[in-house]
Amino acid sequence: MGKKWRWGVILDAGSSGTRLHIYRWLDPAKAAKDASYEELHSLPNIVTKDKWTKKIRPGISTFGDHPEDVGPDHLQELVERALDVIPEDKHADTPIYLMATAGMRLLPPTQQRAVVTETCSYFRANTRFSLPDCDKHIQVIPGETEGLYGWIAANYLLGGFDNPEGHAHGKNHHTYGFLDMGGASAQIAFAPNATVAEEHGNDLKLLRLRSLNGAPKEYKVFTSTWLGFGVNQARERYVKTLLDEFLIDGEHEVPDPCLPRGLRTNEKGDYVSGSSKELSLVGTGEFDECLRRTKPLLGKDIPCDDKPCLFNGQHVPPIDFDINHFVGVSEYWHTTHGVFANKEDDTAYDFNTYQKKVVEFCSQHWEEIDSKVQSRKKDHGKEAQEACFKASWLISVLHEGIGIPRYGIDHAPTPGINVTKEVGEAAKEKGFLNPFQAADEIDNIEISWTLGKMVLYAAGQIPPKDNYLLPVGFGSNVKGIPPDFQHAGSSFNTTSAIDDDDDWSDTAEDLIDHAKSKSTSGFFFFVIILLFIAFLLRKRDRRMRLYGKVNKVLRRRRRPGSPRKGGLGLSVITNKLFGRGFYNYERVLEEGDADQFELGEASSDEGDTSDSSNGRARAGRSSGLATPKLNVEDFDDLKKNPHPGSALDRSGLVVRTESRERLFPQMLTAGRRSRAGSPTRLKSPLIGSMSEH
């Protein structure tokens, strides 16, 4: 794999499972070299693929009592995927992170530390990924940090960072608010308007990023978390209140208005048959009553020590919904789109429409619902059982807790701007016009807080402009570098060297991957033709170097022990492209004997340079032709006693006349008129065994 790519591995260790994310971006030196004006003023372009993510269950917090098993029983499957995706020669340069969230926050500190320590030990023993500091790479992150990373990811994908004019919401504001909800916690992050930011400066975090040209991008963001207010933790508290109120000694049934009519589950939400005598929650399908019972779970009556507060006595600066359009991910997406809408239904969240769907669904008898979901994915039945409570909790948090206007019913608390008219054209294309919009992906990339962490890391690899030496990262909202500043974790290199040929080998592998994913052979042949034409257009020395790189890619993808196919045809093509004898040279490389030769490196017309494996720079001739090094120890001896196989040129210099099979293939025709005119060639005594060289 080429030098131009940078990689990052991060594992999101949540309460219900651990998800692997792999990201890739251009080396800053390469990206800046080919960048347009807009790209130079943008953040690094980070990409990922579906096969670069993987989730396993249960959560890492379940290993609190037996942390020694977290590696082989939990992490191994994810580590193997990362090792398979990322090229081996890039492992040492690839950072690996595991950041645990709400599930681990609920464990005692001693168990947290044990799981974290075992995780770091496992990574170091089983991978070569970059892990210089366990405390920074493997940690339980605060909810505020998770929210900030999520805010970065959402605004990065929506384009608010790089195109502020296209996302102008009014009042010189161009970023989006971020809402996240998992099983155990909920987060909020947003940039207040200028007036609120001035009044509540001590509540904000200063975030500093860096665009490709080295210029800083600074933002003041409020972020907070509600531990215990994720949907699963809220459900546990809800069930407890039902049992405290309705459970009678000697009885085993309790009515539950948040379950569809006729559905029976136990306290954990598992299905219970009608003949069972275990404690059962019996659905009544009364969604209005469900809403009434979930609202008190917000803790709106808890005193607010630092006004203003939203819910549970949590201080949050005033939110200007005219300019703060919130993007909701995770449970916000699943709860609005799971059983109530298809993934293709990307219409903006509308309170009236959504509540109508929920009431209609939850008032059905469970047998009717169950018959409809059986044909869908296997876990859809579980989702259907939980859908009514989750919808009720989401509505309560959004509108009663955070105060987001019920679009179409409520007016924004601070009217004066028509949001639809003021929002930029770029935001219109994304569809984020209203105070709240649930989302899962933007441009086919998942909105995950892990992406925000990688954006920060990649930005830290960009060398700063002169006079802009402040580091990338975040901390307290003060000038300079605050004591609690958290650095991006990366470093920059102002002398990166990029080989343009790496672009071609990387492109070849990407296209091969893409072709394999297609069901038709026509697309595959189209890709091959494009590659072949581009290959022929390159200079001969570059074609030779590229051939070796692409062949290496193909060999790596061939399973060990599998036979090579098409060798005869390939040798004919390579002879035509590079001259006879090329296939023999390539065979020597494959058999591992190449280290017994010393060849001068070919230099490109653009002056590209690269280091040899032993650290010594090797330069080719300015003509672009690489020549074997002549190992002549005593020229006078040669002149007096010329060996067979050597000759004197017109200047009296000794010239070795090796067999053309031993020469670099591009030298075979250089300076020669025809093969017929060549003298009979004998093996030179100067050529000893290869081990002597």
**Could you report the per-residue pLDDT of 481-526, keeping only the tens digit for each?**
999 999 999 988 765 445 555 555 555 555 555 554 444 456 666 6
Say whether pLDDT at 215 is over 90: yes
Distance of alpha carbon 391 from alpha carbon 285, whole angstroms: 13
Q: What is the mean pLDDT of residues 538-565?
A: 55
- Mark 147-161 as b/e (b = at least 16 C-beta within 10 Å): bbbbbbbbbbbbbbb
| 444 backbone φψ class: left, alpha, beta (φ>0; ψ -120 to 50) | left
Which pLDDT score is estimated for 674? 41
Section 217-222 average pLDDT: 96
Mean pLDDT, residues 27-56: 94
Give residue 343's pLDDT band: very low, low, confident or very high (50, 70, 90). low
Least confident of 175-184, 529-538, 621-630: 621-630
Question: What is the model's pLDDT at position 664?
Answer: 41
pLDDT band at 595 (very low <50, low <70, confident <90, very high): very low
Percent of the chain with pLDDT over 70: 65
Q: Which of 257-261, 329-333, 663-667 shows the lowest mean pLDDT across its residues? A: 663-667
- The verdict on whether omega for the bond into residue 308 sits within 30 degrees of 0, i.e. cis, is yes
By C-alpha distance, which of 48, 31, 446 is closest to 211? 31
Q: Does 657 have pLDDT greater than 70?
A: no
Residue 308 · residue 401 · CB < 8 Å: no
**Kindly report the CA angle at 331 between 265 and 363, in degrees rounded to 5?**
45
Cα–Cα distance for residue pair 157/46, rounded to 1 Å: 10
CA-closest candidate to residue 603, choices 588, 587, 617: 617
Question: Whose structure tokens read 């580091």?
Answer: 471
Q: Which of 433-437, 471-475, 669-673 shows the highest mean pLDDT?
A: 471-475
Residue type, 337: H
Q: How far apart are CA 358 and CA 363, in angstroms?
A: 8
Domain regions of the chain by residue span:
1-141, 143-229+312-345+412-496, 234-305+351-406, 501-596
**Mean pLDDT (the chain, rounded):** 77
Instruction: Check pLDDT > 90 for residue 120.
Output: yes
Residue closest to 600 by CA, chosen among 645, 543, 541: 541
Q: Do the Cβ atoms of 580 and 574 come closer than 8 Å?
A: no
pLDDT at 417 > cutoff 80? no
pLDDT at 255 over 90: yes
Q: How far apart are CA 234 and CA 390, in angstroms?
A: 9
Cα distance between residue 419 and residue 323, in whole Å: 8
Helix (H) or strand (E) holding 208: strand 205-210
Task: Give the separation between CA 629 and CA 618, rounded to whole angstroms.
Answer: 11
Q: What is the mean pLDDT of residues 87-92?
A: 96
Distances (CA, A) of 653 to 453, 566, 648, 685: 63, 44, 5, 18
545 has pLDDT over 90? no
Residue 181, judged by CB atoms within 10 A of its CB (0-12, 13-18, 19+), counts as buried
In this predicted structure, the answer to whether residue 327 has a pLDDT above a threshold of 80 is yes
In angstroms, rounded to a whole number, what is the distance separating the alpha carbons of residues 239 and 227? 18
Residue 611's SS3 state is strand
Count Cβ atoms within 10 A of the Cβ of residue 378 and give its class: 0-12 exposed, 13-18 middle, 19 or more buried. exposed
Region of poorest pLDDT, from 298-307, 330-339, 573-582, 679-688: 679-688
What are the DSSP calls for 94-143, one per residue? Answer: -BEEEEE-HHHHTS-HHHHHHHHHHHHHHHHHH--SB-S-HHHHEEE--H
8 Å CB contact between 279 and 252: yes
Could you give the CA distance from residue 485 to residue 459 in angstroms, rounded to a whole number? Answer: 16
User: pLDDT grade, residue 227 (50/70/90)?
Assistant: very high
For 615-633, how does the pLDDT look when each residue is reduced to its tens digit (9 = 90+)?
Answer: 333 333 333 333 344 343 4
Strand partners, 205: 221, 476
Residue reference for tokens 């005869």: 568
CA angle 297, 302, 308 (to 5 degrees): 110
β-pair partners for 206: 220, 475
Question: Exactly one of 118, 146, 331, 386 is catalytic; which is it?
Answer: 146
Please state, in angstroms and as integers, the Cα–Cα distance from residue 26 to each residue in 2, 126, 133, following that order: 10, 27, 24
Concerning whether 146 is annotated as a catalytic residue, the answer is: yes
Residue 135 phi/psi, 5-degree rounding, is -65, -30
Alpha-carbon torsion angle 595, 600, 606, 609, nearest 10: 50
CATH topology match: 1-141 vs 234-305+351-406: yes
Span 561-588, pLDDT tens digits: 444 444 444 444 445 444 444 434 333 3
Lowest mean pLDDT among 174-188, 264-278, 577-591: 577-591
Mean predicted confidence (pLDDT) in 384-413: 86
Entry pTM: 0.73
Q: What superfamily in CATH does domain 1-141 come from?
A: ATPase, nucleotide binding domain (3.30.420.40)
- Per CATH, the number for 234-305+351-406 is 3.30.420.150
User: 166, 427 in Cβ contact below 8 A?
Assistant: yes
- Check pLDDT > 90 for residue 79: yes
| Side-chain-facing half-sphere of 222: CA atoms under 13 Å | 23
pLDDT grade for 455, boundaries at 50, 70 and 90: very high
